[in-house]
Amino acid sequence: LVSAPVHEVAPLSAEANVRTVSPSARFGVISDIDDTIVKTGATNFVKHWRTVVANSAQSRTAFPGVSHLYRALAKGEAGPETNPVFYVSSSPWNLYDLFQSFLALHEIPLGPMLLKDFGLDRDKWLTGGHDGHKLKMIAKIMDAYPHLSFVLIGDSGQRDAAIYAEAARRHEGRIIAVHIRDVTDGDLATEAGEAIAALEALRIPVTRAETLFAAAENAAKLGLIDAGDVACVRAAIEEREREG
């Protein structure tokens, strides 16, 4: 377009964020988005696409404790964003602006978002290729930062446990903890239960709960965050419970 032969084109510019990982980073975080940090109804096609076309970042609610835990995991010797956070989701790129604004509004650490192309191809139609997309993006991140180990955070609604178990097998020794947010009211699918057992067999600490308190406690036990961070997560959860 800059060298269009007929029409004069006004110079265009754009800004983009680039994640440069600090040499002081101890580990990284790879997190799902849908129903892990923000309620999108990703397991329900109609609700999910209502989110795509009708909702704003201001209308979405963060799950309690998310901003506190993610900021705690991200901070380190070099400051509040020492440890990088990456977001891997099978949501379409249409939601990028909503997610980006949502993270900023709720003071959740920003990070690269690796979303999914939706289209008419066999590997793009609707939610096709969910597992393959997430595994490919997780591998892309791990290959880019071979010196880092990772905490994986997801939910029980979209096979995250199974995907993370496979990622742990493919990247042996690189996963230091997994948290699965339970969206099933405790009625965990057999497949998810087997995946969690597989992770535990690899000696990877796994927590599964509706809130992030168990994840915060486990992170503190592993030395990834401190006791004060755990208290902040608990306080945020209790405040939301009081509000109903």
Query: Which carries the bigger pLDDT value, residue 122 or residue 118?
Result: 118
Q: Is the pLDDT of residue 119 over 90?
A: no
Name all contacts of 46-53 with Cβ < 8 Å and 24+ positions apart. Answer: 48/91, 51/95, 51/98, 52/92, 52/94, 52/95
Res 88 pLDDT > 90: yes
Q: What would you report as the CA-atom Rg of the chain, rounded to the nearest whole angstrom?
A: 19
pTM for the predicted model, two decimal places: 0.85
pLDDT for 127 equals 47
| Predicted confidence (pLDDT) per residue in 90-112, tens digit | 888 888 888 999 999 999 999 99
C-alpha–C-alpha distance, residues 133 and 163, integer Å: 10
Instruction: Let me know: does 88 contact 32? Beta carbons within 8 Å.
Output: yes
Quickly state the pLDDT bin for 3 (edges 50, 70, 90). low
pLDDT value at 228 more than 60: yes
46: number of CA atoms within 13 Å, CB side?
0
DSSP letter, residue 200: H
Q: Using alpha carbons only, what angle is made at residue 212 by residues 223 and 233, rounded to the nearest 5 degrees? A: 70
Higher pLDDT, 154 or 119: 154
Give the C-alpha separation, 140 to 62, whole Å: 27
Q: Are strands 175-181 and 149-155 parallel, antiparallel or unpaired?
A: parallel
Q: What digits encode the pLDDT tens for the residues 193-216?
A: 889 999 999 999 999 999 999 999
Strands (E), 191-244: 206-209
What is the rounded distance in angstroms from the CA atom of residue 158 to the CA atom of residue 131? Answer: 9
Q: Of all residues in the chain, what percent are helix, strand and coil, respectively (each to 5)?
A: 40, 15, 45
- Largest Cα separation within the chain, whole Å, is 65
Q: Beta 85-92 vs 27-31: how paired, if at all? A: parallel
Higher pLDDT, 241 or 131: 241
pLDDT tens-digit profile of 174-189? Answer: 999 999 998 876 565 6
Q: Give the CA distances from residue 167 to residues 21, 136, 139, 160, in Å, rounded to whole numbers and listed in that order.
A: 22, 9, 8, 10
Q: In sequence order, what DSSP letters do the residues of 91-157 get, joined into one string?
A: EEGGGHHHHHHHHHHTTPPP--EEEE--SSSTTTSTTTTHHHHHHHHHHHHHHH-TT-EEEEEEETT
Tell which residue, 85, 105, 83, has the closest CA to residue 33.
85
